[in-house]
């Protein structure tokens, strides 16, 4: 059982108009096997939270803590965080020309595990995971994210989630840009990863529709850089009916 | 990202008006005041400008004939060093009929101030891949003419992978027949001074040319490429893309990409691109795209040039998957160059080039 704790997190970014505070004191605790949905209107700081957990250099933590089983995550580089068990499924995965998906996956797996995976079982595992996500075998010879459709990029993110087996995954608007079929396939991948590895999930989304497929244990409503309300799955139903308006007035 | 700047201080010379001659004495002495030599100090040529001896290195892997009558039929030399090669009058003719497998010619240089001349003919309807793999030592000047016949398809790959102190210059002139396809790939990684000047013109309409380059300069290497596409006929397509990496305070690369669209070349479509990845402070990448357009009736023409550091988002993506920063950087550079190298089509050679790039990145090889 692992625990990811976010305590009083304040995060700023540099903008043309100077430094701007985006997160204003976020408190959140996620345990293995739990699914937390972070919901909120555009601009509320949801993605900033995701990037801050993963350690993107653009985001400066000015106050507060992130602890993974008591270890100070903020002192770790992004790769150290990944090796410690954190995973971010990105909203906009970048293209890496000249690096094939298979090479990339093997390199990442080797980095995470500290040793190269045994070849035959690894190939089999990748193939199975790809089949589960309805990805064509030819996919692994394409360059990372290059020319991928929106749906392919998201499947590729979830493929990594299943293969790298982190303790906690932050899914940054993984549902955006997916049609119903793709949403279902991607959600099944997240659920498989959760079952297989007792994964803790922080699901960031603007819409409730992904919650039909990935059932949250907790729902946190994010407004203006902090948690405005928390509850169980029923809170999502209320948001579905009422929207975010009442938080914004 | 720094954007490219057009050269200043030296009068702009229209590429098509450049002198062409078989006679070395028609060319002035090499000077940095001459546009085509402005980035390359003459000392770096190790005397290739002062006259040459015949090639005494090794040519292996392909049948070669001698056929002197063809010399100069695609183009006469455009500079003094190439004219010095021409003056030797010793031509190697490679005649390509259709073949399934890629052809590999190993050119192993030895000795100083030597000249080597090729004429490559790709038969009508033939589809071929030819690799000129340059290795070895010394200083070598090369002149290559390439006749891509009507309706034929040729991929020519020129690899410059010589030892640390070697100097190589190569002038390559291709002429493309009607509806032909020509893919030209340059990989320049080994040699103290490397200068490759590939030029393409058209003998028939409807031809397509793709010119790709990958280079990696470190230590005190000077690596220079000057691709030229002369759109002299209608409805031809060209796509030029060169990618380079530089590491170390004395590394210097030069890319001058000339595209000329003449009055007659209606329906031309062209794009040229150069990207340089500067891995350390002090390295210098000169990048100059020149596009001259003499007709408005074209399908499209564009150019782009950018030299800069790592893309932070690429590094973050790899690091977020557990890959340490230094390894992530190597991976990005390898991928950046492999984008071109992977198109060679000879896996063993590709692996060899990739491992040299890896060794250079790790500082194990100059």
**Positive or negative, the Cα torsion across A86, A87, A92, A94?**
positive
Flag whether pLDDT at B366 surpasses 70.
Answer: no
In angstroms, what separates the C-alpha of A190 from chain B's closest C-alpha?
17
Kindly identify which residue of chain B lies nearest to residue A163, measuring between CA atoms. B321
Cβ distance of A164 and B327 shorter than 8 Å: no
Give Dmax over CA atoms of chain A in angstroms: 58
Measured at the alpha carbon of residue B278, what is the angle toward residues B276 and B283, in degrees to the nearest 5? 110
| Nearest CB neighbour to B317, from listed A96, A111, A143 | A96
Flag whether pLDDT at B101 surpasses 90.
Answer: no
The mean predicted confidence, pLDDT, of chain B is: 93
Flag whether pLDDT at B5 surpasses 70.
Answer: no
In angstroms, what separates the C-alpha of A68 from chain B's closest C-alpha?
16
Predicted structure pTM score: 0.87
pLDDT for B30-75, tens place per residue? 999 998 999 999 999 999 999 999 999 999 999 898 877 899 999 9
Backbone angle region of A98, left / alpha / beta, with phi > 0 → left and psi within -120 to 50 → alpha: left
Flag whether pLDDT at B7 surpasses 80.
Answer: no
Cβ distance of B317 and A98 shorter than 8 Å: no
Rounded alpha-carbon distances, angstroms, from residue A243 to A220, A222, A239, B141: 14, 12, 5, 73
Mean pLDDT of B75-97: 95
* Residue written as token pair 């009929």: B97
Cβ distance of A164 and B321 shorter than 8 Å: yes
pLDDT value of residue B13:
59
Q: Which of B42, B29, B39 is nearest to B9 (CA)?
A: B39
> How many independent structural domains does chain A possess?
1
Please indicate if any CB of chain B lies within 8 Å of the CB of A13.
no
pLDDT value of residue B36:
92
pLDDT for B187-207, tens place per residue? 999 999 999 999 999 999 999
Query: How many CA atoms within 13 Å lie on the side-chain side of A15?
Result: 8
The domain in which residue A184 lies consists of 3-248
Q: Which two tokens stand for residue B305?
A: 């040039």
pLDDT value of residue B301:
92
Q: List beta partners, residue B261.
A: B231, B293
Q: Residue B288 and residue B291: Cα distance in Å, rounded?
A: 10
pLDDT for A3-46, tens place per residue? 999 999 999 999 999 999 999 999 999 999 999 999 998 889 99
Q: Is the ipTM of this complex over 0.85?
A: yes
Percent of chain A exceeding pLDDT 90 equals 90
HEC sequence for chain A? CCEEEEEEEEEEEEECCEEEEEEEEEEEEEECCCEEEEECCCCCCHHHHHHHHHCCCCEEEEEEEEEECCEEHHHCCHHHHHHHCEEEECCCCCCEEEEEHHHHHHHHHHHHHCCCCCHHHHHHHHHHHHHHCCCCHHHHHCEECCCCCHHHHHHHHHHHHHHHCCCEEEEECCCCCCCHHHHHHHHHHHHHHHHHHCCEEEEEECCCHHHHCCCCCEEEEEECCEEEEEECHHHHHHHHHHCCHHHHC
Packing angle, helices A119-132 and A150-164, rounded to 10: 140
pLDDT value of residue B9:
47
Q: What is the DSSP letter of B29?
A: P
CATH of the domain at A120: 3.40.50.300
Beta strands A96-100 and A143-144, pairing class? antiparallel
Place B3 in a pLDDT band, splitting at 50, 70 and 90.
very low
pLDDT value of residue B8:
44
> Which helix (H) or strand (E) is B317 found in, with range?
helix B312-319
Cβ distance of B332 and A83 shorter than 8 Å: no
Place B296 in a pLDDT band, splitting at 50, 70 and 90.
confident
């Amino acid at each position: 059982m692992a625990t990811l704790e976010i305590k009083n997190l304040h995060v700023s970014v540099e903008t043309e108009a100077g430094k701007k505070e985006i997160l204003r004191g976020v408190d959140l605790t996620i345990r293995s096997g739990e699914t937390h949905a972070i919901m909120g209107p555009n601009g509320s700081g949801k993605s900033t939270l995701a990037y801050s957990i993963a350690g993107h250099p653009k985001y400066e933590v000015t106050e507060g803590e992130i602890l993974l089983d008591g270890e100070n995550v903020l002192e770790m580089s992004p790769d150290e965080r990944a090796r410690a068990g954190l995973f971010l499924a990105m909203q906009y995965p970048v293209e890496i020309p000249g690096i094939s998906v298979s090479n990339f996956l093997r390199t990442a797996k080797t980095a995470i595990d500290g040793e190269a995976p045994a070849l035959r079982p690894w190939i089999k595992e990748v193939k199975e995971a790809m089949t589960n996500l309805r990805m064509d075998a030819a996919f692994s010879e394409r360059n990372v994210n290059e020319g991928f459709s929106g749906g392919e990029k998201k499947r590729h993110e979830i493929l990594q989630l299943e293969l790298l087996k982190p303790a906690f995954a932050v899914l940054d608007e993984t549902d955006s840009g997916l049609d119903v079929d793709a949403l279902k396939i991607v959600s099944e991948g997240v659920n498989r990863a959760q079952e297989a590895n007792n994964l803790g999930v922080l699901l960031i989304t603007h819409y409730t529709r992904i919650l039909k497929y990935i059932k949250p244990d907790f729902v946190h409503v994010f407004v203006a850089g902090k948690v405005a309300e928390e509850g169980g799955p029923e809170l999502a139903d209320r948001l579905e009916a009422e929207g975010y308006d009442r938080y914004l007035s | 990202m720094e954007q490219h700047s057009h050269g200043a201080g030296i009068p702009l010379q229209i590429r098509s008006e450049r002198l062409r001659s078989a006679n070395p004495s028609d060319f002035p002495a090499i000077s940095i005041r001459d546009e085509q030599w402005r980035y390359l100090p003459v000392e770096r040529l190790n005397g290739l400008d002062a006259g040459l001896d015949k090639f005494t290195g090794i040519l292996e892997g392909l049948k070669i004939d001698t056929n002197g009558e063809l010399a100069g039929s695609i183009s006469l030399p455009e500079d003094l060093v190439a004219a010095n090669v021409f003056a030797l009058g010793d031509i190697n003719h490679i005649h390509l009929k259709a073949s399934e497998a890629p052809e590999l010619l190993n050119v192993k240089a030895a000795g100083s101030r030597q000249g080597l001349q090729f004429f490559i003919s790709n038969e009508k309807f033939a589809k071929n891949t030819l690799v000129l793999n340059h290795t070895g030592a010394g200083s070598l000047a090369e002149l290559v003419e390439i006749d891509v016949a009507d309706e034929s398809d040729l991929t020519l790959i020129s690899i410059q992978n010589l030892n640390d102190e070697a100097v190589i210059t190569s002038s390559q002139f291709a002429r493309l027949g009607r509806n032909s396809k020509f893919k030209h790939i340059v990989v320049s990684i080994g040699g103290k001074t490397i200068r490759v000047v590939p030029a393409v013109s058209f003998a028939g309409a409807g031809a397509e040319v793709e010119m790709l380059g990958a280079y990696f300069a470190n230590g005190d290497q000077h690596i220079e490429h000057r691709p030229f596409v002369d759109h002299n006929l209608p409805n031809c397509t060209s796509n030029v893309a060169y990618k380079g990496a530089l590491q170390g305070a004395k590394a210097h690369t030069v890319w001058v990409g000339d595209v000329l669209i003449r009055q007659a070349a209606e329906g031309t479509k062209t794009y040229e691109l150069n990207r340089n990845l500067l891995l350390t402070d002090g390295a210098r990448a000169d990048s100059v795209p020149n596009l001259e357009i003499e007709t408005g009736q074209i399908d499209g023409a564009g150019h782009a040039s950018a030299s800069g550091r790592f893309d932070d988002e690429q590094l973050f993506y790899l690091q977020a998957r557990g890959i340490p920063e230094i390894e992530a950087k190597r991976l990005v550079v390898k991928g950046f160059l492999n984008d071109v190298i992977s198109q060679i089509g000879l896996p063993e050679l590709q692996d060899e080039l990739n491992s040299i790039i890896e060794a250079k990145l790790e500082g194990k090889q100059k």
